Amino acid sequence: MLKLLRKHHTNQIIHLVINGARVKKQITLPSLALGCWPLAGMTRVGVTRQAAIETVAAAIDHGITHLDTAYCYGENGESEKAIAQAIKGRQNEVTIASKCGIHWQAGKKQAVDGQPDTIIREVKESLVRLQLDKIDLLYLHTPDPNIPIQESAGALRRLLDEGIVRAVGLSNGNVEECQLFAEICPLTACQRHFNMLQQEIRPVLLPYCQSKQIAMVAYWPLMKGLLTGRMKRDQIFSHTDSRHKYLMFQGEEFQKNLDFVNAIQSLAAQQNMSLVSLVLAWTMAQKGITTVLFGATSAKQVATNAQALACHLDDSTIFAINEAIQQRGPILGSRKV
């Protein structure tokens, strides 16, 4: 069995224990991880393979050695393939997390398939794409509503027992699904969206994970770029940029979110730090959040975001941010957790 033992706040270390014995190589996971979805180039046009490789390399150079990808990041695993190229000769420096159970069908339609045979096949393909013989952390990408989650968990358990994966996680699951999953397969991490304006996991899932020592890896910390301050009031997304589909980027809701960004922007200025640093530092400081998983499309963005590792927010700044969040109020289109 593999489980989370201890966390440090900024440069957090996760000690892994397999079958009750401490493994020789401890895995160090910094509080920040690089999300490699935008690098697949499916929703952000203009992300070349070279830019993807440079982005990953910059992350490693800045100590962001936890790289998060998935079987479906790219119609043909472009994200995993870019990671393989970027980590050549540096495999020992990184912790690779991938996911299985979602693939693309013709017409760029996503399909969920958590059947055991599919999971085993996808993981074998991921290993080839990544040019690795093991995946450090493998998540079921999302529970498949068409089959009992225990069946999917059984396949991940098999991969764990065979040593093909070192730890297992559940992405986009709720507490009940985590419980059913953990009856079959030890659960090391959960992955859900979490940011200043989307905190649905706070009341139930987060305390559950804390109580079970399951790591919480938070995605969308930058609200898909909205909390970086670079979006304009009259922002127009290209039709290939999937962000236009989300309510947070539409109409009055978008304008209210930009008002919120203005409010926290002035707090960042008072602290003499960038908005991105303030946002990431706040997210890292939230109790129960183990890792903050941001996406980036360039080495420059990674360098900016890495500065958050050195930022500390005092209590009065955290209080002021929380006030601004309260003032913004609940946002539309929250996903059920």
Ligand X SMILES: NC(=O)c1ccc[n+]([C@@H]2O[C@H](COP(=O)([O-])OP(=O)(O)OC[C@H]3O[C@@H](n4cnc5c(N)ncnc54)[C@H](OP(=O)(O)O)[C@@H]3O)[C@@H](O)[C@H]2O)c1
By CB under 6 A, is residue 36 in contact with ligand X?
yes
Q: Per CB under 6 A, does 44 bind ligand X?
A: yes
Stretch that binds ligand X, among 34-42, 55-63, 244-252, 322-330 (CB under 6 A): 34-42
Q: How far is CA 180 from each of CA 151, 210, 280, 291, 307, rounded to the nearest angstrom?
A: 10, 17, 32, 24, 39
Q: Where are the alpha helices (DSSP H) in the chain?
A: 49-61, 78-86, 116-130, 149-161, 175-184, 205-211, 251-270, 275-284, 299-306, 315-328
Q: Which span sits near ligand X by CB under 6 A: 33-41, 50-58, 117-125, 326-334? A: 33-41
**Smallest distance, ligand X to C-beta of residue 180, A:** 19
Choose, by CB under 6 A, the member of 30, 38, 74, 101 that binds ligand X.
38
Binding ligand X by CB under 6 A: which of 30, 35, 74, 173?
A: 35
The window from 3-11, 29-37, 54-62, 256-264 that contacts ligand X (CB under 6 A) reads 29-37
Restricting to residues 67-86, which ones interact with ligand X according to CB under 6 A?
68
CB of 251 to ligand X, least distance (A): 20
Q: Give the shortest CB-1-to-ligand X separation in angstroms.
A: 23
Query: DSSP label at 221?
Result: T
Nearer to ligand X, 105 or 110 (CB): 110
- Tell me which residue has its CB nearest to ligand X: 295
The C-alpha atoms of residue 219 and residue 201 are separated, in whole angstroms, by 12
171 contacts ligand X (rule: CB under 6 A): yes
- From the list 144, 143, 138, 127, the residue with the least C-alpha distance to 169 is 138
Cα torsion 131, 134, 140, 141: sign: negative
Which class for 186: exposed (0-12), middle (13-18), buried (19 or more C-beta within 10 A)? middle
Size of the site for ligand X (CB under 6 A): 27
The tokens describing 86, both together, are: 């970027």
For residue 330, give every residue at least 6 positions away whose Cβ sits within 8 Å of its Cβ, in sequence order, or none.
Answer: none
**Cβ atoms of 222 and 241 closer than 8 Å:** no
Minimum CB distance to ligand X, residue 20 (Å): 30
In whole angstroms, give the CA distance from residue 19 to residue 95: 20
Binding-residue pattern over the window 117 to 156 for ligand X, x denoting contact by CB under 6 A: ----------------------------------------
Does residue 278 sit in helix, strand or coil?
helix
Stretch that binds ligand X, among 30-38, 156-164, 259-267, 317-325 (CB under 6 A): 30-38
Interaction between residue 276 and ligand X (CB under 6 A): yes
The binder of ligand X chosen from 172, 199, 291, 317 (CB under 6 A): 172
Q: What is the DSSP letter of 136?
A: E
How many angstroms separate the CA atoms of 228 and 212, rounded?
33
Binding track over 213-252 against ligand X, x by CB under 6 A = ------xxxxxxx--x-x----------------------
Verify binding: residue 98, ligand X, rule CB under 6 A. no
Both tokens of 112, joined, read: 């969920």
> Which residues in the 287-316 window bind ligand X by CB under 6 A?
293-297, 301, 304-305
Question: Which amino acid, residue 79?
Answer: S
Where along the sequence are the contacts to ligand X (CB under 6 A)? 35-38, 44, 68, 171-172, 191, 219-225, 228, 230, 276, 293-297, 301, 304-305
